[in-house]
Amino acid sequence: MSIPNTIAITEELIASHGLKPDEYERILELIGREPSFTELGIFSAMWNEHCSYKSSKKWLRTLPTTGPYVIHGPGENAGVVDIGDGDCVIFKMESHNHPSYIEPYQGAATGVGGILRDVFTMGARPIAAMNALRFGAPDHAKTRHLVAGVVAGVGGYGNSFGVPTVGGEVEFDARYNGNCLVNAFAAGLAKTDAIFLSEAKGVGLPVVYLGAKTGRDGVGGATMASAEFDDTIEEKRPTVQVGDPFTEKCLLEACLELMQTGAVIAIQDMGAAGLTCSAVEMGAKGDLGIELDLDKVPVREENMSAYEMMLSESQERMLMVLEPARKDEAEAIFVKWGLDFAIVGKTTDDLRFRVLHQGEEVANLPIKDLGDQAPEYDRPWREPGRFSALPATDVAEPEDYAAALLTLVGSPNNSSRRWVWEQYDTLIQGNSLQIPGGDAGVVRVEGHPTKALAFSSDVTPRYVEADPFEGGKQAVAECWRNLTAVGAEPLASTDNLNFGNPERPEIMGQFVKAIEGIGEACRALGFPIVSGNVSLYNETNGEGILPTPTIGGVGLIPDWSQMAKIGTMQPGDVVLLFGGDGTHLGQSVYMRDVLGLADGPAPEVHLGDEKRNGDFIRSLIRNGQATACHDISAGGLALALAEMSIASGLGMKIDISDAAGPAHATLFGEDQARYVVSVPADMGNFLMVNAEGAGVPFRKLGTVGGETFAVEGLFEVSVSQLRDAHESWFPDYMDATPAEAAE
């Protein structure tokens, strides 16, 4: 063996495996002896944050996970939601932050590959992908390199595999300088009577290895992803996996074909911690033991040790418990697709995890203590501080409203992301109805004449840092709003909780309060969490990221012919605001990008208002009464209207003279639960009467037409100026020389 199993266990070795002294003592108590080197690696992999959720389990249990559409909630590879007619949507979001910072292309690519496997291992054919990307300040030395590599990796893998990327986010902030975030989302379609789970069943059944061969890439990846970064970051490059989307495509087709045979009893993809995690989770869930013979594992490198094989995170691999009578049939399918098929073990009844290699038992451990009974912590946490109220009158008005709006539409965080999403295949499979650039991506349900699914991903990290509770609520509400704005009924959500070091009470406090806010919003909006991922220790040299609990959501459109878009206004349309006027400038992008300030509380999220206003908007869209719709979020009313003008190629004349508050609050305030809708001229009065009857605040803003965006008495700017500012920032930034980018 290249690495012997008899390496002396030292304090340094224990620490390098991410295990604390008390955790090592617990290991000694559990097994009654010193662990072998392979066993130490197994404990390290299974007890790290990435696999065990030891710091977060207590709080995750408080989230709502059931609902009228939920078939399977958290605990499986992905969540499952019923969409009627015998169909279901299977979806999840997961992070690949640490690998993407170390090696951006492969880190992002394998993040996409991993989330796709989570979906199709349950029997679904992937139909849509999204990604939520956050990078450091544009002028930071590494940012352009990371943007270029991550975007290329996402596109390279997703495009080659053949799944459309229909939505996502890209954001810049100096707090991500040392730790970018790459959150990948995938959704697939399956039949409700053909869902495959990971729980092993039956004793003495073959455990089968499927897919690509095992190499040394990604050894220790899960442990690396559960640690802070420091100046030795480049040394961790070997822990990043290498992906092959074409092998993944073959694996998808082979798995879906195999699933139709009745051979599959349980199936689990090999993600974080590879063979170790997949085998342990399958056995522990089924209250069974697992015995593995590593001599049977297909490998692509010579002299691989037990430690390396157990901890390798080589991609495009699955583990399955097989119906013995179907062995030959199953093997033939995988051989046909050019993939490995090997019986590498069996299920047992003794709740032990045994690993054999070259005639030696290199591991013999209690499987439940590795899996669902791994350590769980109630870490100390501190209540986050709060900002005092910031009246709009205490925030300076812009000297030039037109210049302020042009600054916002052309800023790093509010400009068009076309440069990014044009590198993704957004149309493959031929079912995409809305691609990135609007409120939500929309994909037809294959085989159904009218149904479509909508997808969105959202969080506003600056809100979460200012007030984790309100920020957590807002992330859910904005995702729910974006689905509503295209006419979809929000069904369920997935979370990707990205935070710093949970051993710091102030960081743990952010996590706890954000979870509380997320839970409250999900309950109020009927939007349960059915899957997700926690990513902690997103820090470099003690500098943590902004708290970033990303929410991905799925909604159902019964008839896509009544779907709304942001860019379909017509000349002569009336422009209506539903929801109150803008008042809140605390933590707004107006303050950040125009005034260069960050102050005040996050906006409050009134969930009753969100539900009432959203249900009203969804109803008018489905009644065919809206020509275009857009929710109001970052940048307030002015930015929402400008984006609609840019997307439609039409101007508008707006009058806010009778608004109660100051003009800059009305235009740039980021109050929640609000939408802008354009409607035919003869429909405006009717809808305002309906809104009054429903208790929904409303305002007639003006009319669509011409080539300028004008707010009476304040400013006028051409749509072409807005478009140029909106579309130019990203390509100019990515094409600039390093010296130019730093200016």
Q: List the structure tokens of 327.
A: 């062995």
| Local confidence band at 453 (pLDDT 50, 70, 90 cut-offs) | very high
DSSP 490: E
Rounded to 5°, angle at Cα 683 from 678 and 684: 65
Cite the beta strand spans of 606-679 per DSSP E. 628-631, 652-654, 675-679
For 584, the 3-state DSSP assignment is coil
Q: Which residues pair with 453 in a beta bridge?
A: 443, 556
The structure tokens listed for 278 are: 């997949």
Query: Which residues, including other chains, have CB under 8 Å from residue 567's CB and lie 6 or more apart?
Result: 437, 438, 628, 644, 646, 647, 648, 649
Quote the pLDDT of residue 237.
Answer: 41
What are the C-alpha distances in Å from 278 to residues 48, 205, 298, 370, 444?
15, 16, 16, 12, 33
Q: Are 433 and 619 in contact (CB under 8 A)?
A: no
Say what the pLDDT of residue 1 is. Answer: 42
Q: Is 344 helix (H, G, I), strand (E, B) or coil?
A: strand
Mean pLDDT computed over 316-325:
94
**pLDDT given for residue 202 in this prediction:** 95
Q: How far is CA 711 from CA 116, 567, 591, 625, 643, in A?
A: 46, 19, 20, 25, 15
pLDDT confidence of residue 446? 94
Q: Order of strands across the sheet with 206-211? A: 264-269, 317-322, 206-211, 340-348, 289-293, 352-357, 360-366
pLDDT digits (tens, 9 = 90+) for 31-51: 999 999 999 999 999 998 888
Please tell me the distance from the alpha carbon of residue 648 to that of residue 163, in angstroms, as a whole number.
28
Task: Please give the pLDDT value at position 373.
Answer: 85
Q: What percent of the chain has pLDDT over 70?
A: 96
pLDDT value at residue 340: 95
pLDDT at 272: 75
**Mean pLDDT, to the nearest integer, of 518-528?**
98
Q: If you average pLDDT over every residue of the chain, what do you get?
A: 94
Q: What is the pLDDT of residues 616-658, one digit of tens each?
A: 999 999 999 999 999 999 999 999 999 999 999 999 999 999 9
Q: Tens digit of pLDDT for each residue in 682-705?
A: 999 999 999 999 999 999 999 999
Predicted pLDDT of residue 715? 97
Looking at residues 172-176, what average pLDDT do you find?
A: 97
The model's confidence at residue 216, banded by pLDDT at 50, 70 and 90, is confident
% pLDDT > 90, the chain: 89
Confidence of residue 243 (pLDDT cuts 50, 70, 90): confident
Neighbouring CB atoms inside 10 A of 77's CB total 26
* Side-chain half-sphere CA neighbours of 131 within 13 A: 39
User: Of 220, 221, 183, nearest to 97 (Cα)?
Assistant: 183
What does the pLDDT average to over 274-294? Answer: 94
Asked if 443 contacts 452 with a C-beta cutoff of 8 angstroms, the reply is yes
Q: What is the average pLDDT across 311-332? A: 93
Indicate if the pLDDT at residue 4 is higher than 80: no
Instruction: Quote helix, strand, coil % in the chain, to nearest 5.
Output: 40, 25, 40
Average pLDDT rounded to a whole number, residues 193-215: 94
Do residues 296 and 342 lie in contact, with contact meaning Cβ atoms separated by under 8 Å? Answer: yes
Rounded Cα gap, residues 33 and 54, in angstroms: 24
In the predicted model, is pLDDT for residue 582 greater than 50?
A: yes
Q: Which band of pLDDT confidence, cut at 50, 70 and 90, is reported for residue 259?
A: very high
Contacts (Cβ under 8 Å, ≥6 apart) of 557: 442, 451, 452, 453, 454, 486, 487, 488, 489, 563
How far, in Å, CA of 298 to CA of 270, rounded?
14
pTM: 0.95
CA dist 701 → 133, 184, 252, 619 (Å): 34, 38, 50, 21
Band of the pLDDT at 740, cuts 50, 70, 90? low
> Does the structure show a pLDDT above 50 at 123?
yes
- Rounded to whole angstroms, how far apart are CA atoms 270 and 498? 22
Cα–Cα distance measured from residue 345 to residue 136, given in angstroms and rounded to the nearest whole number:
45
CB 241 within 8 A of CB 99: yes
CB 456 within 8 A of CB 482: yes
Residues 407-441: tens digit of each pLDDT: 999 999 999 999 999 999 999 999 999 999 999 99
Higher pLDDT, 466 or 237: 466
Catalytic residue positions? 50, 96
Find residue 89's DSSP bridge partners: 81, 189
Specify the 3-state DSSP secondary structure of 295: helix
Q: What is the pLDDT of residue 224?
A: 46
Instruction: Give 74's DSSP letter.
Output: B
- The pLDDT, as a whole number, for residue 231 is 52
Summarised one tens digit per residue, pLDDT across range 54-80 is: 999 999 999 999 999 999 999 999 999
- Of how many residues is the chain composed? 743
